[in-house]
Amino acid sequence: MKGFRWYMIVGCTAVCLATAASAALRLQCPPDSVLVGDACIDKHEESVWLIDPVNNPALVNKVRHGTATLTDLHTGGALAAIQLGAAASCNGPNDYGANFPPSGNWWPIPGSNPPSPGVYAVSIPGVQPSACLTWFQATQACALSGKRLATNQEWQQAAAGTPDPGTDNGTTDCNVDSPLFSNTGSRSNCKSSWGVFDMVGNLQEWVADWTEVDFLDCTHSGALGLPGSDYICFRGYQGTNDFPRPLTAPAPLVRGGESGDGTGAGVFAVWTGMFPSDHQDGTGFRCARSAR
């Protein structure tokens, strides 16, 4: 009888595992993302677009379903979307880039119900990703698009297999040795094993998780027994006289490194030297959503 009960338990476990595996196979993601575990990770660094949800609900619907294309965003006459803060258009910490209000604030579009600033994060190839956004703005743009910022764990999983950092031939390799930012998906070799582009270099990316601020006290991945020399700044350093930073200030994690970071960029690169209200030309973001 005991043996029978054990057989039943083992059999049930096998059935349950098979059922779970079958359910996992049924998980699906929108066309602008790929399935990594149980999350849909956007294939491309986000470009942020101002779309009037009152007069252009069809385009908003496409964005939220992950089917909007660059052609969709560029057509429609007076109803066309406007990109905000393209990476090539913003310069330094006091500039939000082209088409942003000077203060960086967003206000509800007249007539929107519920009130909405009409600002959406879109994962598409062939466009400059948006930069010079605060963590708060990135979070809101993801949310309005039916998504959220990728977590640190999700980001790490999705980055697996990306050249770390490899060479930079200026065309197809990861953009880690250039003063310029590349269009999304244009660096064809800079793709993870999951099919996610530009996880290394181009723009460093906000993720959802926070820690204590760390500005200069850095190590590298090789010192921790990991491959490469990706910079890792994660120990709550309070800065210098030139750059004072309170030891207990909050800081969202920024991942992957940017275009000028050379060997410091990589799948293990972690930067925690920015406040959530900071914004700069080398920082963008990537959204995710739960698979269905």
What residues contact 173, with CB distance under 8 A and at least 6 apart?
Answer: 163, 166, 167, 187, 189, 190
Mean pLDDT to the nearest integer, 266-286? 90
Domain total of the chain: 1
Contact 49, 81 (CB under 8 A): yes
Residue 218 belongs to a domain: no
Confidence label for 10 from pLDDT (cuts 50, 70 and 90): very low
| Inter-CA distances, 77 with 72, 80, 81, 156, Å | 11, 5, 9, 40
Q: State the Cα–Cα distance between residues 270 and 200, nearest whole angstrom.
A: 11
- pLDDT at residue 4 greater than cutoff 50: no
| Inter-CA distances, 169 with 109, 174, 191, 265, 266, Å | 44, 8, 15, 15, 16
Residue 53 belongs to a domain: yes
Predicted confidence at residue 14, as pLDDT, reads: 55
Predicted confidence at residue 250, as pLDDT, reads: 74
Residue 157 belongs to a domain: no
- Owning domain of residue 108: 41-149
Residue 138 belongs to a domain: yes
Confidence label for 5 from pLDDT (cuts 50, 70 and 90): very low
Residue 235 belongs to a domain: no
Residue 82 belongs to a domain: yes
Contact 209, 152 (CB under 8 A): yes
Q: What is the pLDDT of residues 280-292, one digit of tens each?
A: 889 999 999 999 8
Two tokens, residue 232: 């890792």
Tokens 């990770």 sit on residue: 41
Predicted confidence at residue 17, as pLDDT, reads: 42
Residue 93 belongs to a domain: yes
pTM above 0.85, yes or no: no
Residue 83 belongs to a domain: yes
What residues contact 72, with CB distance under 8 A and at least 6 apart?
Answer: 59, 62
Confidence label for 2 from pLDDT (cuts 50, 70 and 90): very low
Predicted confidence at residue 267, as pLDDT, reads: 96
Residue type for position 123? S
- pLDDT at residue 48 greater than cutoff 60: yes
Average pLDDT, rounded, for the chain: 84
- pLDDT at residue 152 greater than cutoff 50: yes
Confidence label for 213 from pLDDT (cuts 50, 70 and 90): low
